[in-house]
Amino acid sequence: MRAFLALFALPLALACGGGSKAAPGAPTILVQPASASVQAGLTQAFTAAVGHAADASVLWSVLETGGGSITAAGLYTAPAVPGTYHVKAVLAAQPSYAGQATVTVVPVPAQGVPSLGIGAALNGYLPFPGDSPWNQDVSGLPADPASAAIVAFVGAATGLHADFGSGTYQGAPIGIPYAVVAGGQTRVPVAYQAYGGESDPGPMPIPVPPPFEGADPTGTSGDRHVLVLDRDANFIYELYGSQLQPDGSWRADSGAIWDAASGALRPWGWTSADAAGLPLFPGLAKYDELASGAIRHALRLTVPATRKAFVAPATHWASSDTSSGAPPMGTRFRLKAARDISGFPPQSRVILKALKTYGMILADNGSAWYLSGCPDARWDNTDLHALGGITGADLEVVQMGTVYTTVPAGAAPAIQAFTATPAAGGGTTLSWTATGATRAFLTPAPGPVRGASALVKPVATTTYTLLVEGPYGSATAQVTVNAK
């Protein structure tokens, strides 16, 4: 109900601040988003919802001289000078009726520091260390002996497809969106449904509006991923099957938190927000990467059917098929080095270069040879469609390591101590010792942590839960801290 009321109230607010003030039934123009933060030199798409007008055509403009430019379709380009500017939509047939939105243009961050916002530029930032499987150059590795059989199983005559682009499909942006937030972003509770035992705990820093995959955050159809990068702490938060609740909290079928500074895997046998137990964010094609001239990581891939098996970095399978020709989750494909790509249009050519160098990692069951990416108004859908000229016959499987047909077993993590000690200067230091653990989380706050201690300052008596995870499972412990 809260989201409904907020949307219902917007036309009233605009009617007082720059839209029409005429009597009911007169034309109305609602510019969305009503406000936006845009990095200098980058773009933001605006739309104008027109009511009570026979001709809904609008004319766009920027009110301030030097405040950037906007196309006839509502695509705004920010100027080089940061500041606050305004875009305006005027009803072409009746220029006295108009609506506007506020744009805050922010400076370009330092190289390697992501901007903030939904679909924000990463500015050269690359999650996970250079030796991460996602960032590994595999162009010189041998092909797997089973390559031809696996490619034939998926479809040697089937072409690649970009499962992302510009515009909308069935009312939703084409692709999987993400948001970049600062460390102070408000955290909201997450309640897990289907895979709670294999999910990392909330709360999570999900902004409003959220970077939601689909048309309706309150709906129940589709994969409904939510991906958020905390650029200050360098953690990635991902949800699958998510649903926004009236109180602002979320429900989700599963969720995972990734330390983008280490790339440590989740326990063997665990799923994530992706069927293979992999992170989604690092495998998405992002427009600002393409604009830099190179995509420097592997891409996420789906195929119609997979094997009941996985290869690292995957940790989970989603199949009952044991045939040897079916690809295990985590299988890495690449474009053959000899395939000529010089005739492809520019956006497709950059993607194909990445497929030769880094390949694509099988992450989920879906359509054959579908590559995942983020929605962006700057994608050229006709250009991306040219990827269909690359078929399975042009691809090969990079030599696989161990193919796990049973989940590896070993000693589960163990917590030897979890203590609370008053800290000099105020607050309480939570400390712990554990064996067999590669990841740690403290709830209700601060969430994912590095090292073996954290400072907390509760305002009321609080019981803290420590969750540690390792290759062979997880363990928990609790301690209560009295507020000072």
Q: Kindly report, residue by residue over 392-410, the tens digit of the pLDDT.
A: 999 999 999 999 999 999 9
Q: Kindly report, residue by residue over 195-231, the tens digit of the pLDDT.
A: 999 999 999 999 999 999 999 999 999 999 999 999 9
Q: Does the pLDDT value for residue 1 go beyond 70?
A: no
Give the separation between CA 45 and CA 173, rounded to whole angstroms. Answer: 12
Q: Does the pLDDT value for residue 379 go beyond 60?
A: yes
For residues 154-180, average pLDDT: 96
For residues 64 and 211, state if they share a domain: no
For residues 417-434, average pLDDT: 94
For residues 315-325, average pLDDT: 96
For residue 263, the model assigns a pLDDT of 82
Give the separation between CA 422 and CA 432, rounded to whole angstroms. Answer: 15
- Chain-wide mean pLDDT for the chain? 92
Using DSSP, state whether 195 is helix, strand or coil.
coil
Residue 81, number of CB atoms within 10 A of its CB: 12
For residues 141 and 205, state if they share a domain: yes
In a domain, 251, yes or no: yes
For residue 24, the model assigns a pLDDT of 56
In a domain, 125, yes or no: no
For residue 8, the model assigns a pLDDT of 31
Q: Kindly report, residue by residue over 53-76, the tens digit of the pLDDT.
A: 888 899 999 999 999 999 999 999
For residues 181 and 312, state if they share a domain: yes
For residue 39, the model assigns a pLDDT of 75
Region at 385 (left for phi over 0; alpha for psi -120 to 50; beta for the rest) = alpha
Query: Residue 97 sits in a domain of what CATH number?
Result: 2.60.40.1080
In a domain, 222, yes or no: yes
In a domain, 115, yes or no: no
For residues 355 and 425, state if they share a domain: no
Query: Residue 451 sits in a domain of what CATH number?
Result: 2.60.40.10
For residue 350, the model assigns a pLDDT of 97
For residue 25, the model assigns a pLDDT of 76
Q: Identify whether the C-beta of residue 430 lies closer than 8 Å to the C-beta of residue 442.
A: yes
Q: How big is the CA angle at 136 (ends 132 and 140), to the nearest 5 degrees?
A: 150
Q: Give the H/E segment covering residue 11.
A: helix 2-17
Between 425 and 204, name the one with better pLDDT. Answer: 204
Q: Does the pLDDT value for residue 10 go beyond 50?
A: no
For residues 328 and 431, state if they share a domain: no
- Of 34-38, 81-85, 212-216, 272-276, the range with the lowest mean pLDDT is 34-38
Give the separation between CA 219 and CA 37, rounded to whole angstroms. Answer: 27
For residue 88, the model assigns a pLDDT of 96
For residues 233 and 264, state if they share a domain: yes
Biggest alpha carbon distance in the chain? 74
What pairing do the DSSP bridges indicate for beta strands 226-230 and 179-181? parallel
For residue 380, the model assigns a pLDDT of 97
Strand partners for 257: 237
For residue 173, the model assigns a pLDDT of 94
Give the CA-trace dihedral at 274, 201, 173, 55, to 10 degrees. Answer: 160
For residues 379 and 460, state if they share a domain: no
For residue 476, the model assigns a pLDDT of 98
Domain count, the chain: 3
In a domain, 189, yes or no: yes
Between 7 and 64, name the one with better pLDDT. Answer: 64
Give the separation between CA 158 and CA 12, rounded to whole angstroms. Answer: 51
**Residue 440 sits in which domain range?**
414-481
For residue 44, the model assigns a pLDDT of 85
For residues 21 and 101, state if they share a domain: yes
Q: What's the pTM value of the predicted model, to 2 decimals? A: 0.80
For residue 18, the model assigns a pLDDT of 41
For residue 6, the model assigns a pLDDT of 35
For residues 86 and 172, state if they share a domain: no
For residue 9, the model assigns a pLDDT of 34
Give the separation between CA 217 and CA 201, rounded to whole angstroms. Answer: 20
In a domain, 313, yes or no: yes
In a domain, 185, yes or no: yes
For residues 424 and 472, state if they share a domain: yes
For residues 368-392, average pLDDT: 97
For residue 12, the model assigns a pLDDT of 33
- For the record, the structure tokens of 74 come out as 């509502």
Give the separation between CA 288 and CA 291, rounded to whole angstroms. Answer: 5
pLDDT bin (cut points 50, 70, 90) of residue 23 is: very low
Given the structure tokens 């530029």, which residue do they identify?
A: 121
Q: Identify whether the C-beta of residue 2 lies closer than 8 Å to the C-beta of residue 248.
A: yes
CA distances, 114 to each of 58, 153, 165, 180, 259 (Å): 34, 39, 21, 7, 16
For residue 36, the model assigns a pLDDT of 83
pLDDT bin (cut points 50, 70, 90) of residue 89 is: very high
For residues 380 and 428, state if they share a domain: no
In a domain, 403, yes or no: no
For residues 278 and 239, state if they share a domain: yes
Looking at mean pLDDT, say which of 11-20, 216-225, 270-279 comes out highest: 270-279
Rg (CA), the chain: 24
For residue 4, the model assigns a pLDDT of 32
